[in-house]
Amino acid sequence: MLEWRNSDRVKPYMYTIHTISWEEHLAWYGQLQTSSTKETFIFYEKDQPLGVVNFNQIDFIASRCYWGFYIGVQTAPKGSGTILGILALDYMFKEVGIHKVCAEVIETNIRSYHYHRKLGFETEGRLLEHIWKDDRYMDVFTMGLFSEKWSHVREDLIKQRGKIG
């Protein structure tokens, strides 16, 4: 997971701009073990780890959370990201009972922006010059998906992909 996170495929699209050390990774993992507002899952296909999904700022009173994810394996089968999204959002909406999943997408991550749209997320706003990366300020899109909309979008995605869980 740490190798994926520090890779040139993933790192440019994250808020953290430095290479994460083993010590930082262990500290993050330790905090994750005791947190009631964070959950992280490794996405597997046929016993091979392919990616990661994180839920954070889980707020049971407001019934919302934020998420982040990535497919770490460059040779992951086509459609792996869609399956990861379906499984993760099903978990948060159906099993945890969250009402809204929120996302933040850096303006340069066009693939992620379109991926979120495919999953039914709507753009709620744009945080101007919100982060500093690559020697410049960048905007961040705020996006949200509600559980009611997810149930309809999910049906369409399942029809397109074939049956998934």
Q: Where are the domains of the chain?
A: 2-161
Q: Beta partners for 132?
A: 137
Question: How high is the pLDDT of residue 163?
Answer: 55
The residue assigned the tokens 């699209």 is 13
Q: For the domain made up of 2-161, give the CATH fold.
A: Aminopeptidase (3.40.630)
Helix ranges restricted to H, 10-162: 22-34, 80-90, 110-118, 147-161
Give 51-75 pLDDT, tens digit per residue.
999 999 999 999 999 999 999 998 9
Amino acid sitting at position 42:
I
Tokens of 44: 């597997």
pLDDT over 80 at 43, yes or no: yes
Question: Is the pTM of the predicted complex or chain greater than 0.75?
Answer: yes
pLDDT over 70 at 90, yes or no: yes
Longest dimension (CA), the chain: 45
Strands 64-71 and 48-59 come out as antiparallel
Strands 64-71 and 100-106 come out as parallel
